[in-house]
Amino acid sequence: MNAAEVRSVLAEGLPDYQAGTVTLLDEGEDNRAFEVDGTLVVRFALEPDPAAIDREARLLNAVAAVVPVPVPVPAFVLAERGCLAYRKLPGIPLLDLPQRLDHAESLVSQLSGLLAVLHAIPPESMASLAAVDDQPMTRWLAEAGAYYPGVASRLPTRFRPRVKAFLAADPPSRGHARVFTHNDLGAEHVLVDAATWTVTGILDWTDAALTDPAYDHGLLLRDLGPTALAGLASDVRERAVFYARCSVLEELAYALESGKQKYAANALSALPWLFSQVVM
């Protein structure tokens, strides 16, 4: 996947479009995205699944019709090539703004409002567009434990016993109704206007699913601090803390493997409120 392939899919998907500059925008665990002329994003799945690409395009159109913030709306889809293109949304990824914690209350309010809208969508209406992704808590804990040996040396010494204690403890009980949600609402997928701290877009709906409503709240806790727990029911808070602790180890492991230091910085900055202070 390179600039030549971007031009190839543009010729097929938007034959009247004359592309100028093509630059690599970002690469994550699932996708590689290119920016064209500063206005168009052309995204390729690293492991193409035509049915999944087509389903995501239909999901994006459905979500765009109901949520209070912009989401990518497909300009064209070439599912067999693992390609989805959309007009670039304004804003800067929240992960790239270290001062985000100074604006956590406003950001959490906006993002919690988004989650409230998503969680209110009847799950059955999204069943054809979003799969169930709701693994047992014991599996979450086991996977977090598997990440620990590879990241332990990067953890400040004072946090290691607390992380080990978390991994050795029983996970919270499930007992939740599944909802439709983004399912990956980390700071890297939230665009904001850095002048007003208004959320201007939500990216990457690849993992959207029917799952535990606490999961995305856990990612907000990881990336924006304890303010993210305000107003949540006690059982949702407990599970959100659990998911945040698991995901911070996963994020640090990803950062070390990929060399993306901003993810490592984000994970390490969350340790004080996840493993020192009482967040519940």
CATH label of the domain that carries residue 106? 3.90.1200.10
The pair of structure tokens assigned to 49 is 């699944």
Please indicate, yes or no, whether residues 72 and 116 belong to a single structural domain of this protein.
no
Please indicate, yes or no, whether residues 35 and 21 belong to a single structural domain of this protein.
yes
Output phi, psi for 31, to 5 deg: -140, 155
Query: Of 63, 87, 111, which residue constitutes the final position of a domain?
Result: 87
pLDDT tens digits for 25-42?
988 778 899 999 999 999
CA atoms within 13 A on the CB side of 20: 4
Beta bridge partners of 27: 32
pLDDT tens digits for 75-134?
999 999 999 999 999 999 999 999 999 999 999 999 999 999 999 999 999 999 999 999
Of residues 47 and 274, more confidently modeled: 274
Query: Of 87, 104, 121, which residue constitutes the final position of a domain?
Result: 87
pLDDT tens digits for 157-198?
999 999 999 999 999 998 889 999 999 999 999 999 999 999
Please indicate, yes or no, whether residues 147 and 213 belong to a single structural domain of this protein.
yes
Tell me which residue range forms the domain holding 35.
3-87
Please indicate, yes or no, whether residues 118 and 51 belong to a single structural domain of this protein.
no
Please indicate, yes or no, whether residues 65 and 98 belong to a single structural domain of this protein.
no
Please indicate, yes or no, whether residues 176 and 253 belong to a single structural domain of this protein.
yes
Q: Where are the beta strands (DSSP E) in the chain?
A: 22-27, 31-36, 40-45, 74-78, 83-87, 92-93, 179-181, 190-193, 198-202, 209-211
Residue 280 lies in a domain: no
pLDDT tens digits for 196-249?
999 999 999 989 999 999 999 999 999 999 999 999 999 999 999 999 999 999
With the CA atoms of 145, 175, 207 and 28 taken in that order, what torsion angle do they form, in degrees rounded to the nearest 10?
Answer: -20
Q: Is the dihedral of CA 94, 95, 97, 98 positive or negative?
A: positive
Contacts of 111 (CB under 8 A, 6+ apart): 185, 190, 199, 220, 224
| Mean per-residue pLDDT of the chain | 95
Q: How far apart are CA 88 and CA 147, in angstroms?
A: 34
- The band of 277, judged by pLDDT with boundaries at 50, 70 and 90, is low
pLDDT score recorded for residue 96: 97
Return the number of other C-beta atoms located less than 10 Å from residue 127's C-beta: 12
Q: Is the dihedral of CA 189, 198, 89, 127 positive or negative?
A: positive
Beta strands 31-36; 22-27: pairing state: antiparallel
What is each CA distance from 280 to 95, 142, 218, 221, 226, in whole angstroms? 24, 22, 12, 11, 8
